[in-house]
Structure 1
Amino acid sequence: MSVDNPADLRALIPGALACWPSAPGSPIGVVVEVATQQVRVMFDGVEEPQAFSVHAQVIERVLLTGMVRRASTGAIGMVQGMTTVSPPRWQVLIDNRLVTVAEADLRPHVLEDPRSRMLAGRFGTARQFYLAVTARRYENEQATNDLVSLGESRVDLKPHQVSVVHRVVTSYPHRYLLCDEVGLGKTIEAGMVLKELRARGTAVRCLVVSPPNLIRQWQFELKSKFNETFSIINSQTVKYLRETQRYEGNPFDAYESVIVSSAWITGPEWAKLATQSDWDMVVVDEAHHARARITGNRREETLLYRVVRDLVSPAAFSKRAALFLTATPMQLDSRELYSLVELLDPALFPTVEHFERHRSEVPGLNRLVHDLSEHGFPIPDVESRSVIDRVAGWLNLEEAEAEARLSDGRTSVEELCAELSALHLLSEVLIRNRKKLVGGFMPRHAHRSQVDLTKDERRALDAVEEYVHDGYARADRTNDQAVGFVMVIFQKMMASSISALRMSLDKRRIRLEQRALEPTLGKRAARLVADIEEGMERDDFVSALLGEGAVADVEEANELTRLVALLDKVPVDSKAETLLTQLRVLAEQEPNPKVLLFTEFRETQEHLRRRLEELGWEVCMFHGQLKPEQKDAEVDRFRAAAGPSILLSTEAGGEGRNFQFCHLLVNYDLPWNPMRVEQRIGRIDRIGQVDTVQVFNFWVKGTVEERVLNVLERRINIFEETVGVAGPRELIHGL
């Protein structure tokens, strides 16, 4: 359509393009609000809108003519005419096709190549030319120096962190697994890599994928320590962009620095939009959640794995940096590590069989490098000829040359160790520092807290164990995966808390009786079963599975009624009493102690909260069902508590959160995954800890916890043999 009144093209209205001619660079932005006294404009590259007095008349409407560029896609087109005045929309010819585009998504397209500037008569002065040449010289120096931004961060960098940053930045295409032990500062390393790559102009657009409970912490640390402003994108952000800003493009293109929740981005719509955006760098925190289980020809991938695979796809290998942060890249199986390596460098191990073959050779190489690094040559209590043969074999040297280099002093041995380490193919994409080698950490001690059950408790738990055993058998006969996992939960609860067990059994009884009226397994239950592996890490999953995974069974409901009544007759909770007794002793020995306690179950957490409040301690709660601001408030309250205080946390606090102001940790119940043990302890055993770390491991004699200790010991060997000692071995020995 044509515009009858040319004044309409000059009016400042919401959605119109405006500029500030008198400001440096004449910034352009979109009018977001026009009031009687003021107009508010969101300028490009600015996070908050800026207000101007209407009477000052410093803001002008941008007149769109000739060539324009879409801000959302970068497409270049030619303006044909305005279609609507309010909101302002234009008809634009793009790729020989007429499209209608909101004015807010258009920008004047100015050709800046030398020929166009000369034809347009846009010449600079001699001083501008000199300044441009000087700036380009400094830019080239920054791009070629090893590290240029170390002094720009507000953090006390450690030598091992500088080493990690140097290695990633100088190794193209900057795609690594950062697997430092918990507490060594992987977030700092990632922030420094980002800062370095941005100084070189190679990481303008960056996406951080973080667990939901850590997105605000990431945003705070990137801003406070590196002065990098990141926007959190979620459903509310998208709604604001579309409804308030009238932004019609991909929401991920609206910002250059973005943080998203790993749970939110797995939604089909958001995953598609995120992968369509062109990123220079992708950071995935707690990357072990993006995993694939490989069994024979069967491959099971988590939703997050599929999203991350698309974000760091082979097509983007040469142009997209990628950092995967995790202290525990393998949860249970070595092939989980392979699935992450495969994303970063698909050519490093052509097949999983190649990876497994190399992994089987690595332990001998690891031990050889470790012994030579620690003791030099000869190695105490090791036959020298054996060492010479192994070095010669690994490096394809003559024995005489290997012996000469080993005997040529410390520097020569260090050079040999570097050559041997290079044979470890995982070192091409994986970096792991250990506290033992980094040094400077406080010692840590593990204490075993055995719980002896009363006769009443033992009688009740024996009855529950018989029910669980029958449930396993029924699940096996009927191939009912949901029932099988419900029985796993009950078996864990038997060692956690009588109260939690009683509540969960009763919840299942009620649901079984309700299912008598709706006997089919719902779609939600099917989804829960499909997501069981990831779900066990969420606080709300257990409750949902107990309810949705129930199919009408009058006989089972009656048995649960009997068990609940039996548990109600148990007068004492020996495990809770043991905890209370030890806390009373602790309060006498240490003034105003702070204790971080982990449990796997919300029911146990609530039970302990009631008991500990009776003791007079300040009790703080941390679990996955709290909103982000509530979690932050509970952590702040725990940190600021003046008297005896305890933070009761589920696994939601086992990742990413920093509690180095506390040095006492209680594993009230033991996770069956050894990597969870390391994650828990790493919350307090980290940079900044000034006291000896004390870990108290509770275990109930005669329950599954007594048997799980050997399993933990065996499983931790998988990771140790592949990339080095995982960390909490001494804590398992202490159990």
Structure 2
Amino acid sequence: MKQNDLVVGQRWISDTEPELGLGIVVDLDARAMTVFFPCADDTRVYAKLSAPLTRIQFMVGDKINDSDEQPWSVEHVVAQDGLLSYDVINAEGVQKRLMEARLSAQLHLSRPRERLLAAQVDSRAWFALRQAALRERLQQARSPVRGLAGARVGLIPHQLSVANSVANRLSPRVLLADEVGLGKTIEAGLIIHAQRVQGRAERVLILLPDSLVHQWLVEMRRRFNLAFSLFDLERCAAMAEVGDNPFASEQLIIAPLSLLTDHPLLQAEALNAPWDMLVVDEAHHLAWSPEASSVEYDTVAALAAVVPSLLLLTATPEQLGVESHFARLQLLDPARYPSLDEFMDAHEQWDETRALADALLDNQLNAEQSKVLSTQLADLTLDLSTETGRKQALNALLDRYGLGRVLFRNTRAAVGGFPARASHPVLLDTPECYAPWLAKGAIWPETRVDEETFLEQDPRVSWLTGWLKSHRRDKCLLITRTAAIAEALETHLRLREGIRTAVFHEAMNLLERDRAAAYFAEPEMGAQILLCSEIGSEGRNFQFAHHLVLFDMPDNPDQLEQRIGRLDRIGQTETINLHVPLLAGSAQARLFRWYGEALNVFAQCSPTAQNVHESFIADLKPLLRPSGSEEQLDQLIIEARAERELLEAELAGGRDRLLELQSCRQDIAQPLVEALKTQDNDSRLDELMLAAWEAFGVHVDDQGQPRTWILQPGEHQLIDAFPGLDPDGMTVCADRDLALAHEDWHFLTWEHPMVQGVLDWMATHTQGMVQVAVLRNKSVKPGTMLLEAWYQPSVLARRDLALDRVLGHEPLRILADINGRNLAAQVSAANLGKQLDVPDAKLARSVIKAHRTEAEKLVSSADAAAEAVLDSLREQALVAWHTLEYSELQRLQALAKINPSVREAEVTQQRDRVAAGEQALRDVSMQLMAVRLIIAA
């Protein structure tokens, strides 16, 4: 800068610290200038000849704020005695002259044009990162698996099919009724995650039985990166004391249903809070009959009436109670299911549709059925004698008839691939210390004696020690009722027997549980046995283990199935061995007979076991005592087995194959699986994040596994908190299989909060907006100037419309020359990039300052070129929107005429959505995202 050009009162910005805002010269002497930065309340002294500062001069058309933060538009610029004045006008037409000393200090050079003309340049790394981030935001917006890619789950077709079908609806209201072990919680998590990614749901309330609260909390965090808040009475009471509605304080809330049913005031607060989605697990516990309904049912019904989206989860099949099934459907759509009588009448029609589906699947259509199909599908041309024709007819039935839009039920029989179970009972002598308690009918006598007596005299302890030592290479999970027993066993095995152990119970915090689970999961030097209290039956899956020790047994089969379900999951590769040490003459020994012979739970997952158990529990209890008659127990087992087999036969006979097909649409599921596999293997994710970590100053180490890194905050990290970075460090893994095996690692996907944070940061912050480059090409005249600019369509619209899906998949690139021509078509970005050198920042700033007039002209030329394609882009976007959304409206309207399961609200919402999207797209504009000033050398 020239010393004679400096005047007190001028406004300058720091090249190296733009975050200081707009500074004002307050003092000058022979060698130095003093600049005060009001935003930072900081005064800096610079050498006149080398100050890293740029003079700020706004141009006609620029938007500026005065010191009162009122917005103005520049109409004319006046220079006098080294100071600038601006003739400005506001939105109301008021005009005035604004001295530069009265400009707002809150200057954010947030637009590339402003930063370029102010000589605010960025490094090569930041500029390249911005290019990649802009491109990937557009690419990911159009992904066919948007919303499904970020979950730490296996690529299981039936789960993806259900999640995709439901998540793509507006305000979905469905019943997820998969059998035990098929992943209803995962399906619900996928739906919640996808609806949030798509902007269709922000506030979600999950209501659960008390025993499942922590399981869901962990699942949502670990699998879906959904940070739910756990609400209990203490937390709600503390917030209510200060007059706040506790349910309005968080976006994502998990609470026990009992919190609302036991406290009417909190129920009222929950009703007064705005929700987008309500999720209720174990919905079969919502008791209802034509004569009366439970307080749990009434509470959920009140919320369901005001919350747009509703997910109900239950494993209880329809055939075990049509009344309760009707009650759940009425929660989903009271208008469609107003009375039980009407529901029963409609039920017969669904049976006819099921019969048609069965006949199509088995290729056994009779003449009458063919006639019915021809009538029902009269608008389709079908040749039912061919496999293609029958498949088309079946797909039409899936779309048009039955409960497929409100009920999803996958069965183990339909999914297949589950392991066998083998039980290994071990009968042991009963120690004297337990005799008095067993005589009184105690089921768990070990809880009645002190720890030392238990460890020394209980023969199950020595049996367990021997088994572990003879199976040292086998991983073993042990679940017992209480934390005290689990801890006592773990201490004994570890200290006295030298066995590698880990313990897991409710008194441990989540981090301690994570470490225990991770130690157990280590294949070589990890724990041989994980000893859990009953909480080990919830929230964690250990498919890598094949041995389960039932040290004691719970007193209901659902809880026993939960224990076995930690190993009996999709992904288990071997037979599950159930080891059951039993004390002779104990209630546990009789309970083992009951579970095995009457309910058959050791051999398979039985959907009827709990119902049968509840039917016989009153007669069973006295027979568990040693004094109970063995003959009566034998007879009760025979009766219970007969009822179980009858119910199972009814289930098999009533198997709804049409519903199973709707619940797992292979024509939908397989493309989803393939698309997710392709995205999983996308190396662009690795390249983007490695570049981001380097640019932001995050310290990165290879973990030693493929696509796995250890991240630590860097000493010179650019920002205080890199998006999603744990201050204590973290391990991230972009390999799905490895991430599934290591739950303590973060699964890095395009939808992980850290990746999304980087993409959002680059879209909203200034880093990487401006670069200066030198062109090394002998055929180009030295001094020739070009401007490479990237534009992105911008539209103001509701987030849930997701209009970015139709606004192109690449930024618009313009290559402007000084004559106003766009050379982008003649010179590709790749070829041009090979010929460019990037000078240091000081030289780059001097180039801009020396050619500011030319740079401004080039930007104007680029803007004009971008505007020239806007009409074409708008039309393309409208056509794409019409293809996506208007076709869906037509489909829903057609379905509503023949399938009463399509709610009128769905059609209305879709119609409004189409109109809102079209209106927003008519106002689309082009936003300049990055510029590169190029000068030929």
So what's the TM-score if we normalise by structure 2? 0.42
> Matched residue of 2:196: which SS?
helix
Does residue 340 in structure 1 map to residue 328 in structure 2?
A: yes
- The equivalent residue for 2:339 is 351
Match of 1:254 among 249, 252, 257: 249
C-alpha spacing 1:429/1:639, structure 2 compared with 1 (3 Å): same
- What RMSD in Å do the two structures reach over aligned CA positions? 5.6
Q: Secondary structure at the match of 2:243?
A: coil
- 1:469-508 to structure 2, matched below 5 A, reads 496-497=443-444, 499=446
User: Are 1:233 and 2:211 matched, yes or no?
Assistant: no
Q: Which residue of 176, 179, 184 corresponds with 1:178?
A: 176
| Cα distance per residue 1:56-75 (max 9 Å; x no partner) | 569xxxxxxxxxxxxxxxxx
1:192 equivalent in structure 2: 190
* C-alpha displacement of 1:351: 3.4
Are 1:275 and 2:268 matched, yes or no?
A: no
Residues 205 and 281 in structure 1, CA contact (< 8 A), matched pair in contact too: yes
Matched residues in 1 for 2:414 and 2:311: separation? 23
Q: SS state of the match for residue 209, structure 1?
A: strand
Aligned position for 1:407 = 385
1:68-467 pair list within 5 angstroms: 148-151=146-149, 157-212=155-210, 215=213, 218-219=216-217, 222=220, 226-235=224-233, 237-238=235-236, 248-268=243-263, 269-289=265-285, 291-294=286-289, 297-299=290-292, 301=294, 303-313=295-305, 315-316=306-307, 320-328=308-316, 333=321, 335-352=323-340, 355=343, 369=357, 373=361, 376-377=362-363, 384=364, 387-388=365-366, 391-392=369-370, 395=373, 405-409=383-387, 411-421=388-398, 425-435=402-412, 437-438=414-415, 441=417, 443-450=418-425
Matched-pair identity in %: 29
- Evaluate the alpha carbon distance shift between residue 276 and residue 675 of structure 1 in structure 2; reply closer, same or farther with a 3 A threshold: same
- CA separation of 1:605/1:350 partners in 2, compared to 1, >3 Å: closer, same or farther? farther
1:400–1:671 Cα change, 3 Å: farther
> 2:491, 2:479 → 1: CA distance?
14
Task: Tell me if the contact between 2:181 and 2:570 (Cα under 8 Å) persists in the aligned partners.
Answer: yes
- Partner SS state of residue 309, structure 1: helix
Confirm or deny: 8 A CA contact 2:479 2:536 kept in the other structure. Answer: no
Alpha-carbon distance in 2 for matches of 1:389, 1:572: 73
SS of 1:700's equivalent? helix
Amino acid in the other structure paired with 1:276: N
**SS of residue paired to 1:426:** coil
Alpha-carbon deviation of 1:310?
2.0
Corresponding position: 1:700 with 2:589 = yes
Give 1:653 deviation, angstroms.
Answer: 4.0
Where do 1:703-718 residues align within 5 Å?
704-705=594-595, 706-709=597-600, 710=641, 712-714=644-646
> Residues 141 and 344 of structure 1: is their aligned pair in 2 closer, same or farther, counting only changes over 3 Å?
farther
**CA 1:638/1:714 → structure 2, altered by over 3 Å: closer, same or farther?**
farther
Q: Contact between 2:20 and 2:40, CA under 8 Å: does it hold in 1?
A: no
* Inter-CA distance 165–718: structure 2 relative to 1 (3 Å threshold): same
Give the aligned residue type for 2:272.
Answer: Q
Residue type of the partner of 1:412?
G
Please report how far the alpha carbon of residue 408 of structure 1 lies from its aligned counterpart in structure 2 after TM superposition: 1.0
Mark the structure with the bigger radius of gyration. 2
The answer to which of 346-355 and 623-632 deviates more is 623-632
Distance 1:307 1:23 in 2: 54
* Higher RCO structure (Cα 8 Å, ≥6 apart): 2
CA distance in 1, matches of 2:428, 2:372: 55
SS in 1 for 2:206: strand
Distance 1:661 1:397, change over 3 A: same
CA contact (8 A) 1:618 1:643 kept: yes
Q: Is the 8 A contact 2:239 2:245 kept in 1?
A: no
Shift of residue 594, structure 1, vs aligned partner: 1.7
Q: Classify 1:200/1:636 alpha carbon distance in 2 versus 1 (closer, same or farther; 3 Å).
A: closer
CA distance in 2, matches of 1:572, 1:360: 62
Stretches of structure 2 lacking an aligned partner (at least 5 in a row):
1-18, 22-37, 43-70, 72-89, 96-109, 114-135, 582-587, 601-640, 661-937
Return the offset for 1:237.
4.2
Asked whether the equivalents of residues 206 and 258 of structure 1 are also in contact (C-alpha less than 8 Å), the reply is yes
- In structure 1, distance between residues paired with 2:229 and 2:415: 34
1:50 aligned residue: none
The CA distance in 2 between the partners of 1:667 and 1:367, in whole Å, is: 43
> Is 2:547 the partner of 1:657?
no
Give how far 1:620 is off: 5.8
Alignment partner of 2:403: what SS?
A: helix
Query: Matches of 1:714 and 1:672 in 2, distance apart?
Result: 23
Change (3 A) 1:311 1:451: same
**Residue type matched to 1:306 in 2?**
D
| C-alpha distance 284-333 of structure 1, shift in aligned 2 (>3 A) | same
For residues 180-237 of structure 1, give each alpha carbon's deviation from its aligned partner in whole angstroms, at most 9, with x where no partner exists.
3444444443343234333443312222334556555645554565554433334454
Quick one: distance in 1 between partners of 2:246 and 2:386?
A: 61
Map of 2:470 onto structure 1:
588
SS in 1 for 2:542: coil
Note the C-alpha offset of 1:398: 10
CA distance in 1, matches of 2:480, 2:360: 39
C-alpha separation between the residues in 2 aligned to 1:590 and 1:390? Answer: 64
Alpha-carbon distance, 1:168 to partner? 1.0
Which amino acid in structure 2 is aligned with residue 595 of structure 1?
L
TM-score normalised by the chain length of structure 1: 0.51
Give yes or no for contact 2:207–2:281 (8 Å, CA) kept in 1.
yes
Q: Could you tell me how far apart the structure 1 residues matched to 2:580 and 2:197 are? A: 47
The structural deviation recorded for 1:148 is 3.9
Q: Match for 1:321: what amino acid?
A: S
Q: CA deviation at 1:272?
A: 2.0
